[in-house]
Amino acid sequence: MQRRSYTSDEGWLLSYADLITNLLIFFVMLLAASDISRSRMQQITESLSGKEQPESLSSIQQQIEAKIAAEGLQDLIQTELDDDGLRLSLNSGLVFDSGSAAIRAEQTDTLDRMLSTFVPYMEQYGFAVEGHTDSQPIAAGSPYKTNWELSADRANAVRTRMETVGVARGRVRVEGYADTVALPEEELQGLDEAERLARHRRVVVRIY
């Protein structure tokens, strides 16, 4: 078999093809470097503008739990993290007098210290304040006709304290549920009737 010999024209075409290939590789590398630069530039810009990754709800829960433990507030406040967000459940029997939506004066400072934990995160999360009562009818002489009104006003009283410590009004909504949201039975096992009713009287601050 005879070897094929390349003419000068064919040699030029091979050199041209090599040049095009090298240019293509160069531009691919340049494009990749450009993407990396843009990504890095975005990181630098966000850093300079003060943008941060949202604090996790579990991290916020740990901060609140530490405050609860430090001040011995386990009977006043309990926390729970679930698919709907982080819940802070306030014992209404310790925060409010019976049939009243006015926060007890001796609990105001304690409540404010706990609620102020939310201020750094109000741009990252929303807040819902839920009022709940037991199933007992409103006592005679109460300014409230139903548990619906009482639960809503108690939730609103906590919302007011949140605004006082610096949580923006537009980040908080108020919900009154009366006795329509029962606690899971496993949380009530071993409790007598009076204790069960007391557990249901609560205000829940939900972060979502």
Residues 43-80 have pLDDT tens digits of: 455 455 554 556 899 999 999 999 999 999 999 999 99
Find, among 119, 104, 107, the residue nearest to 168 by Cα: 119
Residue 162 confidence (pLDDT) above 70? yes
Share of the chain above pLDDT 90, in %: 70
Q: What does the alpha-carbon distance between residue 111 and residue 7 come to, in Å, rounded to a whole number? A: 91
Find, among 173, 177, 128, the residue nearest to 151 by Cα: 177
175 SS3 class: strand
pTM above 0.75, yes or no: no
Contact 148, 179 (CB under 8 A): no
8-27 pLDDT per residue, tens: 556 666 677 777 887 788 77
At 115, the pLDDT band (50, 70, 90 cuts) reads: very high
Q: Say how many C-beta atoms besides its own lie within 10 A of residue 135's C-beta.
A: 12
Which value, to the nearest 10 degrees, does the dihedral of the CA atoms of residues 150, 176, 82, 72 take? -20
Cβ-count burial of 152 within 10 angstroms (0-12 exposed, 13-18 middle, 19+ buried)?
A: buried
80-114 pLDDT per residue, tens: 999 999 999 999 999 999 899 999 999 999 999 99
